[in-house]
Amino acid sequence: MTRAVPEPRKTLDPDVVAQWLARHPDFFVGREGLLQQLRVPHPEARGATSLLERLVIDLRSRAEHAEGRLEQLLDSARHNEAQYRRTRELILALLEAEDGDALGQALATQLSERFQTPAVALWCPPSLTDREPRPPQAPRHVLDEHTAQRLSALLDDRTSRCTRLTRSDWQRLLPHAAAPEKSGSCALTRLAVGEPLGYLVLASPSPDHFRASMDTLFTEYVGDVVARLLVRLTPSDHG
């Protein structure tokens, strides 16, 4: 008599089981005892725990993650609100300036007090300054050809940029501010309203304060406002 060869034991594919359970979410209805018998690995300790306990642990973890995410969103909202208020005060102070020098002083003061920007320079071409009764006062300066070439080179054909600033560049671009021992950093933007109106330089003696990876939207925005105010405050030929 031939002995029967036992058939190989079949093992269910876990993915198939998971798909089947997903299609039959009511499988455990009436089988609550089965739920209590199921044992799954404990996520933090050795050994196993019941499925219900594991679900409680997972739900608690999700709740903690959601709470952390909510706190991040709240922090972001608070930061944006504070940034908006600082920007609002800056723009209002600029709008109150009665001439180019007052504009430069307001710009330097507001950026220092509200945005921790240690040094500012506003370079204007002679066309915006030669009709004024006296030479510009720092942080405003008359833009000469050499300085214009250096600022253009630093921008590298961009509208605005954050970059490192060597000591010699600092001395050239911010002659009214004490230069760092080695190098600093700056955010600079080109000023224009239909025609070139100069450059705005925000600088720090820290080489990492204005990093190349930083967004320059704020600098461009301030530059757009300053450029329009410069045009408004420039004395006319008949003034």
What distance in Å separates the CA atoms of residue 187 and residue 197, rounded to the nearest whole number?
A: 17
Which DSSP state fits 162? E
What distance in Å separates the CA atoms of residue 9 and residue 12, rounded to the nearest whole number?
A: 10
Q: What's the pLDDT at 49?
A: 57
What distance in Å separates the CA atoms of residue 227 and residue 205, rounded to the nearest whole number?
A: 25
Q: What's the pLDDT at 79?
A: 87
Q: What's the pLDDT at 238?
A: 44
- Cis amide linkage into residue 139, ω under 30° from 0: yes
Q: What's the pLDDT at 231?
A: 92
Q: What's the pLDDT at 85?
A: 95
Q: What's the pLDDT at 177?
A: 96
What distance in Å separates the CA atoms of residue 8 and residue 19, rounded to the nearest whole number?
A: 24
Residue 71, class by beta-carbon neighbours within 10 Å (0-12 exposed, 13-18 middle, 19+ buried)? Answer: exposed
Q: For domain 98-233, is the CATH number 3.30.70.360?
A: no
**Beta bridge partner(s), residue 160:** 189
Mean pLDDT by 10 residues, the chain (239 residues): 58 78 75 66 60 72 86 89 94 96 96 96 91 90 96 95 96 96 96 93 96 94 96 73
Number of residues that make up the chain = 239
Residue 91, class by beta-carbon neighbours within 10 Å (0-12 exposed, 13-18 middle, 19+ buried)? Answer: middle
Which DSSP state fits 119? E
pTM: 0.72
